[in-house]
Every structure is written in structure tokens, then in C-alpha cells.
Chains A and B, each alone.
Chain A
């Protein structure tokens, strides 16, 4: 806000008051000096004109310029006509006041817009400015993140933003991911862990080997996404655009008709023209759809901003709108409802020696990259790190794994300490005539035999995310009627997980193609309510593309998810969906409030003005006051939590 404009407003206001006082005879110098009545009227007009030009000079100038460009429905022009009209019919104070309030309104609008632009920028203040490069000679130099290459080593000290994605070579630290995920608990990260650009090192000094260039790093992708978010506009926004396009011309034509028709009927009586002309001027004052045009995008913008502050990235206001109406939530299982990290949930041992089975199974699976093999190694590491180290030594010494034989669809056969080890499913046991104990629980069962003797089995299950069951019940409470699970996994595993998280509609053993087909069938039956799909973003692209809102979990570190989805939940939690829908609904309520309020008041005042009940003061409220209140209301969207 410029000081000069503010001073002009103030000066104009003072002069206006002086004019009003003069009009009411407070400075009635005429009585003292016996000056004629006519003269006094002119002085008063001069006072008002002075106030008018101070505040409205710019508007008049812009109006003149825009008319030269052929823009008749320009708001500056319409305001000028309305106020000049008011002068002509002798309503001087109104003319000045309308211009004054119009300018105050404009000033407030640009203040509100700048303020919310800034607060979004602050929400998204995740862009790192510097990187400290460790050179080959050990010197550390300050560089722009843009200048760092893959494989460079950078140092990040306590309190600094991690500038690029990379892996920790040295040191450890608690890392604050709140700016990206909304998650307030810091993550502890140690040597070998991947760190994400845009997160903040709270307390340690870490040496990071850079894995991605700055343009490819997570922080750049997120910023790009958020900044380009609203190129996809919501239906409501499009409606307002269309409405705005017709509203002004219609009101202006109505104003012309209002001024001319009664005058023509009266045979061009000047008295009649002055009455109806004044009403027409009130129309012109209300003819700008500003309140709507500014408050609706502002509300959506605020909603998107509030979502990103909660770790939810929304790629356009249309998706916010769809989320608010979401009636079908299709969930992928692994990595979405569950953590996707397999864990040993039960060990059954014939001899009672759990560690022995685990040890033997891990030896057999040592060369595999399958998640199940990794879960064995992790468990062994926890229980008996000495044994795990020994296996690592075996891996080091026997790189070609000469004696590991994989039996497709069954398991692994290997020799260890001169004994034949068998690790695999029931079929493997049957083929080798080993009597085994059946396991009736859902999950992956790994039977283990050593030297022809059955040892027992390991039950491996995917862990359900802690907040999944509560999130599912919250979604139901929000009125998401259909929560559906689609998975490629076996039926009994799918049913087991579904039962534990509270989902009743389950479709299992689906190939990627089946998932798309099933989704399309759901889309057909959904009618008005919107269909959302939530997955981990891996191999989900076809399904993400065909639903109304495609949601990906765990954007941190997964570019694929960020690119493919319409909404990204950064912190990997199902409760993010609940937050997203709540924010979407609240935003839509604010949008609808603004539309109803602005249109309601405008039409009411238009009707009252046509009958001569509403005056120009009310008209200026319907224009500026309504815009003011609608903007205040939409700013609430920025501060939505949950």
C-alpha cells in the first residue's frame, strides 16, 4: 500500500466531511456575510469535486484510457459513469463516498491478495539457497544447489536445510520433515540412510553423497507442483468465470433501460430522468462481480495452501472439489493400507529353538533380494547380530553362490556344513517327502528343513500401518460410503488384512489389467459421487489416470508418485486422506458461503435499487462491503487445520 494513496484517501475523506458539514449549514458563512444562496451551492459543489478528484483522479484516467482500448465494461469506467451521474442529479456526497469506498475496497483487496500470496510463499519456504561442497582437497566451499553434480559430497550442519537428495556417508542427525510432510516428529537418520532435499538437519553434522541434481530433487519437484497447482480449475471457478462474463453487461444494460424507459414514457421529463438516472447509477456501482471473482479463487488457493501445510499436495482446485464429494475410496493394499515391509510375525519350531530356524532360513535366502529374504535378515540382525555378521561373511567369501539352487515356485535348496537345507513352501516339503506342520494363518509361510529333518516354519506378514483402522473408520464417519480394497495378493491374505482394518469390499488376486477394469466398473456405478483411488504410486499409473482423484502415498523420495497422482500424501499415512477430505469440504463450504452471500446481497440490492428503496450507500456496500467480507471469509481457508 503506497503512502501517497493512503494520504489521498484520508485527505479526500476529510474534505468529504467538510463538504457534508457545509451542506448542512454548519459553516453557513452566507448568513453572516449575506452572500446569495446560489454562490454557497457552488462552493459546496467545489468542495465535493475537490474531494472527488483527489480520490478518483486515477480511476477517471484509467477509465478514459480503457475506453480508448475499447473496453466498455471496465469497472473503472462504470464507477466513473456512476459517480458522474450522481453529481449530475445533485447527490454530491454520495458521488464522493462511492469513489472513496471503491478505492478503499481496491486497496484492501490488493492487500489481502498480497498477504495470502506471501503466506503461501512462507508455507512453501522449503527451497534451499546454498550447498556446502566438500572438495577433493577437503576444503569446503559455498555453492548454489544448482551447481552441484551427482556424486559430489556436501556437508550439512545443524539448522541447515538439506539442499539435495542424497545418502549419508558420515555422521547422523535428527531430520525435521515437517515442511514437506506436516509430520512434527523428527526422523533419526544415520549412515546409509537417504535424506531428502527440503528437510532440515536439526542437530548433527552430516556428509551427504548427492544422488540427484537440483532440478530432479524432491524439493524442486514439489515446488514445481505447488506453483503450477491451479492451472486445473474447479467447476465452481469455471462457473464464476462464466458468470462474471455475463453479469456486468447484463447489469449495465439493465441500468440503461432503467434510466431511459421511464424517461421516454414520461416524454423526457428531466425530473423523471433524475430519479431513474440515480437508480441506474446505483446499478452501475453493483455491476462489478469482484467479490466473487476474487474470493472464489482465493478460497481454493487457501485450501490448497492449508493442505500443503498438512503434508498434502493437491495439484488443482478441481481435485479439491472432487475430494469434497468423494463417495468411493478405492485402496491398494501393499504400501497403502500396510507398510509394505514384510515382517516375521510368528516362528513355529518343532524343537523350540526359534533362532536356529531363522538362522538356517537366512543362510538359504542370503542371496535373494526379495522382501521376504530381507525380512529374515532384519529379524536375525535383531535377535543375533553375531550370526548375521557370519552370514554376511559367507556372502563376501562366496560371491558366485555355487551351491544355491532355486526351485521356481517352491523355494531354495542349498548345502551348509555338509547338510542339505530346504527352505520354501509346502510343495517343496512334499517334493522332498518331508513331513511338515500346516499353518492356517494368512500370510507367507516359509517351511524349513535341515538334513532331511523338519525344523518348523516362519510366518511372514505385511504390517498394517498403525493409523489405518482409525483412518478407515474416520472416512466412513465422513460419509465415504464405499471403501474398496483392490489387490494382486492372495484371497486369504487380502481378507485377513481387510478384516483387521475394517474394509468389507475386497477384490483379490487381480492383475494390473483387472484393477483397471474393476475401477471402471466402479466409476460406472458411482453416478454423482466422486471416485478416488489411493495407492503407493508404484505401478498404479493406469488406475490413477482413470479415476476422478488419483492419490499417491508417500511422496517423499518417490518422484513417480508425485508425477502420476493428482493428490500426494507426503507422510505415508492413511489419516492424510481424512485430513485431505476435511480440508476439501471446509474449503467448499467457504466457497459456497461466498457465492451465496455475494450473489444474494447483490441481487437484493439490485431489486431494492430498482424500486428506489436502496440508495447508493447500500449499493456501495453491496460492491465493496461484500467483497471485503467475502475476502475475509476466504482467508479462513488458509488457516484450515486437519
Chain B
């Protein structure tokens, strides 16, 4: 299952790279791409664990950039 989200308050380009790497490490995630300029997150992950994965992704993102937040596209 593939879904696109928006990352609000994504201010630092370097952080976007780190987030991309961190999200890629979450188990069950097949593909991640963060576009710093459009603040878009594209995530492809196993369907049945999808909401858990998104929860973990939210935590990972705010760990890297405090104000950054994954929101519905």
C-alpha cells in the first residue's frame, strides 16, 4: 500500500534526508521518499501494519525535527 502525506513545518533539508533514512529503517516499510521542497512524504508499506507504521513514522519524524508533523495530504 502506497500513500502520500504532507510533512508540516519541514524546515531543514538535512533533516528531510535523515527522516527518509529513519523511516526506511522501520520494519515493514518498503519504500520511502521525502520531497523537501514540496513537503511531501511518499510511503509504501505492508498493508496490515500500515497504521502502526505511520505511528512509528510520526515519532521518528518529530524526533529529528521537533515541530515537524506528518499530516493527511
Contact = CB atoms under 8 A, between A and B. Distances in A.
**Is A bound to B?**
yes
Contacts of A301: 37-38
B35 A230 contact: yes
A1 B41 CA distance: 25
Contacts of B40: 227-228, 231
Task: Give the dominant DSSP class at A's interface.
Answer: helix
Contact of B33 (A116, A233, A245): A233
Contact of B14 (A62, A75, A110): A75
Interface in B1-53: 4, 11-14, 17, 20-21, 33, 35-40, 42
A245 B11 contact: no
A110 B14 CA distance: 12
A288 B63 contact: no
Contacts of B54: none
Contacts of A241: 17, 20
A423 to B, nearest CB: 54
A17 to B, nearest CB: 29
B5 to A, nearest CB: 12
Interface in A221-269: 227-231, 233, 241, 244-245
A180 to B, nearest CB: 19
A610 interface: no
A293 interface: yes
A113 B11 contact: yes
A24 B63 CA distance: 44
A56 interface: no
Interface in A303-332: none
Interface centre among B35, B64, B66 (most CB of A within 10 A): B35
Nearest to A627: B13
A537 interface: no
Contacts of A229: 35, 38
B56 to A, nearest CB: 14
Nearest to A227: B38
Nearest to B32: A231
Interface centre among B38, B39, B42 (most CB of A within 10 A): B38
Nearest to B18: A71
Contacts of B63: 69, 71
Given A110-B11, A113-B11, A231-B42, A298 B17 contact: no
A459 B31 CA distance: 56
Contacts of A290: 13-14
4 tightest A-B CB contacts, nearest first:
A294-B13, A301-B37, A231-B33, A293-B13
Interface of B: 4, 11-14, 17, 20-21, 33, 35-40, 42, 63-64, 66
14 contacts: A110-B11, A113-B11, A113-B36, A113-B37, A117-B38, A117-B39, A120-B37, A229-B35, A229-B38, A231-B33, A231-B40, A244-B14, A293-B13, A293-B14
Given A113-B13, A229-B35, A288-B14, 12 more contacts: A69-B64, A71-B64, A113-B11, A113-B36, A227-B38, A228-B4, A228-B40, A230-B35, A231-B42, A289-B14, A293-B14, A301-B38
